[in-house]
Amino acid sequence: MAESPAPSGPRSRRRRWARRRRALLGALVVLSLLLLGTGWVGVRGWQARAHLLTAADLAQDLSAQLRAGDTARAQRTLAALQEQTGQARTATGDPAWWLAGHVPYGGDDLAAVRRIAVVIDDLARHAFPPLLQVDLTALLPTGGTLDLIGLRAATGRLAAGDDAIQRNRTVLAGLPADGLLPPVQAALTRLRDEVDGLARLTAVAREGARVLPPLLGADGPRTYLLASQNLAELRATGGMLGAYALIRAEDGRVRIVGQGSAATELRRFDPPVKVLTAEMRQLYADLPGVFPADVNLTPHFPTAARLFREMVRRRTGTTVDGVLAVDPVALSYLLAATGPVAVPGGPKLSAETAVRTLLSDAYLRLDDSAQDTYFASAAAVVFDALFGPDVSLPGVLSAISRSVDERRILFWSARAEEQQVLTPSRLAGVLPEQEDEPTVGVFLNDGTGAKLGYYLNPSAHLTVGECRPDGRRQLRLRLSLHSSAPRTGLTPSVLGPGRNVPPYTVRTLVNVFSPAGGAVLGGRLDGRPVSLGSGVERRRQVVTATVELGPGTSRTLEVDLLTAVGTTVGAADLWHTPTATPWTTQIDPAPACNQ
């Protein structure tokens, strides 16, 4: 039986009109709510902006008061800061803001502002209060002695503050900045930079409070080697280990008990002090076990420190508990906190003059035997100045943090349990055999015995390339070296023995390390294929290129590499030899392989 057609009379038209009217009314209600919500979000946005701007000013005041040791004013400032950050968090936390943060065209910006407000409020409530309770005097020496009891008492508060800062640093790192409005993007970038800097300082303070008491003799006397890395003659970790000092630490008191020169007192060892692995011998022959100046041809600092420690033991009979290596650039950072110091046998050192004085002027003014004495004295007086009465704690922490970050201060402990704690830090100088993010190493070793490393200007550009079907990623390294050496006027001690190169020519052995488990495909020097020596160290393929530079010339080495199988991340890292002139580096990441 056929179905009857739907009625089309007046009653049907009235029903259709009623449905349309209800739909139109609903649309008008939704539109009104959206307009009302937009206006509300705008008002709350202005409120949040005002609170955040005030909070930024208060945070700067708090930082200055902490530096000045004005705890009473800092407490009042912190209370005001928490009031402002709490208001900003409230202003960006209602349902209208949440809803607006999930709409296209502007939602990302509102969500980012909300996260910024939450981070700043969390820092004000969970990071700054425990840090404010730390007795800063416990972190500075008094009368040449560090208060180890007070230092240990500060450990818990420093850890609590650092945990909050590191947690929020991770949150900020996960916020996408692309596509945000310029003011929001600028605010996010600035906050990231501020929190990154703060995180480095609190991490150093936390680890220092934890490991310094035993290292400074809380459980019995300790003896250490303080070795100066001479950046004028480059080695993989920085510069050759020349002058050194013996340091005695007991109950928080640290003093210099002896000094020496690797060249004149340690000399050479035949047979080598230690039989190296076959892999290391292929790369460096027996040199690290024979010559003190060559222990750090390898970038893995624990190996260099063990060799240097054994050499000192054999010549002096002293068995040290660890090795601390510093370079003149690190000393210049520390001098910014201590102020200028007088060095016996030479001019005063300041933050502005230390690098040039130690790596250039000293060679023009002193003979070979006096140079090592002056270098050792310089490191010793800066070390003593750190235990003086007028040292700025934030300045010291900043100098140490920057030096550790640039791997200009390295430390190895002969005690396995302490070394295990230190290993994850850059302070340990450990070249890892396993890594989550692929790391390419570029390490420089002088090839002439000259002291021309002071004039070397390096730059590097690392690009993350395609994902391969075999589960590896391609990487391309572009390394440029420039020599600013003069054509005349340098002394024989700077020019060195020459070793088959014209005078004033910088010969550098460039070792490029693949990521852990990775490989090197090949390379080009100034655009032409170049033969690369090859080896393996700590699960990384290593290739070596010899680069010679005349005064005022530049050369470029390009190397193609592969990551380990199973690498999906698009980020990469670059580890390079610290030099007198800071590197210019650039890393171009790529999308993850699974995106």
Q: Is the pLDDT of residue 223 over 70?
A: yes
Domain boundary among 200, 215, 230: 215
User: Same domain for 314 and 460?
Assistant: no
My answer on whether 285 and 147 are in the same domain is no
Per-residue pLDDT, 355: 95
Note the pLDDT of residue 483.
98
For residue 441, pLDDT over 80 is answered with: yes
Amino acid making up residue 322: G
pLDDT of residue 33: 36
Mean of the per-residue pLDDT values of the chain: 85
CATH number at residue 513: 2.60.40
High-pLDDT (> 70) share of the chain, %: 85
Final residue before a domain boundary, out of 165, 184, 215: 215
Q: By C-alpha distance, which of 247, 260, 244, 243 is closest to 215? A: 247
Size of the chain in residues:
595
Q: Work out the average pLDDT over 135-147.
A: 70
Q: Looking at 48-62, 353-367, 520-534, 566-580, which range is the least confident one?
A: 48-62
Of the ranges 66-70, 115-119, 148-152, which one carries the lowest mean pLDDT score? 66-70
Nearest to 279 by CA among 268, 288, 270: 288
User: Tell me: the pLDDT tens digits for 326-342?
Assistant: 999 999 999 998 899 99
Q: Are residues 290 and 310 in the same domain?
A: yes
Is residue 15 situated within a structural domain? Answer: no
Supply the pLDDT for residue 109: 66
* The total number of structural domains that make up the chain: 3
Centre a 10 Å sphere on the Cβ of residue 474 and count the other Cβ atoms it contains.
16
The model's pLDDT over 300-330, given as tens digits with 9 standing for 90+, comes to 999 999 999 999 999 999 999 999 999 999 9
Which residue, among 179, 184, 133, 140, has the nearest Cα to 155 in the 3D structure?
133
In which band, very low, low, confident or very high, does the pLDDT at 584 lie, cut at 50, 70 and 90?
Answer: very high
Q: Which of 422, 443, 467 is the last residue of a domain?
A: 422
* Average pLDDT for 557-578: 95
- Which CATH number does the domain housing residue 265 bear? 3.40.630
- pTM beyond 0.75: yes
Q: Is 343 part of any domain?
A: yes
The verdict on residue 18 lying in a domain is no
How do residues 226-280 score in pLDDT, each as one tens digit? 999 999 999 999 999 988 999 999 998 888 899 888 888 999 999 999 989 999 9
Tokens of 31: 């539109």
386 pLDDT higher than 50: yes
Write down the pLDDT at residue 484.
97
Q: How far is CA 415 from CA 225, 246, 253, 419, 495, in A?
A: 14, 18, 20, 6, 40
- Same structural domain, 94 and 202: yes
pLDDT at 19: 56
Provide the pairing of β-strand 238-250 with 573-576. Answer: unpaired
Residue 403 sits in the same domain as residue 552: no
222 and 215 Cβ atoms separated by less than 8 Å: yes
342 and 484, same domain (yes or no): no
Q: Do residues 400 and 475 share a domain?
A: no
Residue 2 is assigned to a structural domain of this protein: no
- Model pLDDT for residues 62-89, shown as the tens digit of each residue: 766 765 667 788 889 889 988 888 887 8
Interatomic CA distance for residues 540 and 96, integer angstroms: 54
Asked if residue 176 is part of any domain, the answer here is: yes
Q: Which domain holds residue 404?
A: 222-422
CB 318 within 8 A of CB 309: no
Got the DSSP string for 31-91? HHHHHHHHHHHHHHHHHHHHHHHHHHHHHHHHHHHHHHT-HHHHHHHHHHHHHHHHHHHHH
**In sequence order, what are the residues at sequence separation of 6 or more whose Cβ sits closer than 8 angstroms to the Cβ of residue 407?**
237, 238, 426, 429, 575, 578
Residues 206, 258, single domain; the answer is no
Residue 92: other Cβ atoms inside 10 A: 26
Alpha-carbon span 104 to 95, nearest angstrom: 17
Same domain for 390 and 438, yes or no, is: no
Residue 4 lies in a domain: no
Cα angle value 16/22/24 (rounded, 5°): 100
SS3 assignment, position 408: coil
Q: Is the pLDDT of residue 134 over 60?
A: yes
Q: Tell whether 200 is covered by a domain.
A: yes
Does residue 393 share a domain with residue 458?
no
Helix (H) / strand (E) containing 314? helix 301-316
Does residue 5 fall inside a structural domain?
no
Inter-CA distances, 475 with 93, 478, 522, 532, Å = 43, 10, 11, 17
Say if residue 478 is in the same domain as residue 384. Answer: no
Contacts of 223 (CB under 8 A, 6+ apart): 246, 247, 248, 249, 257, 318, 319, 320, 321
494 and 470 within one domain:
yes
More confident residue, 577 or 30: 577
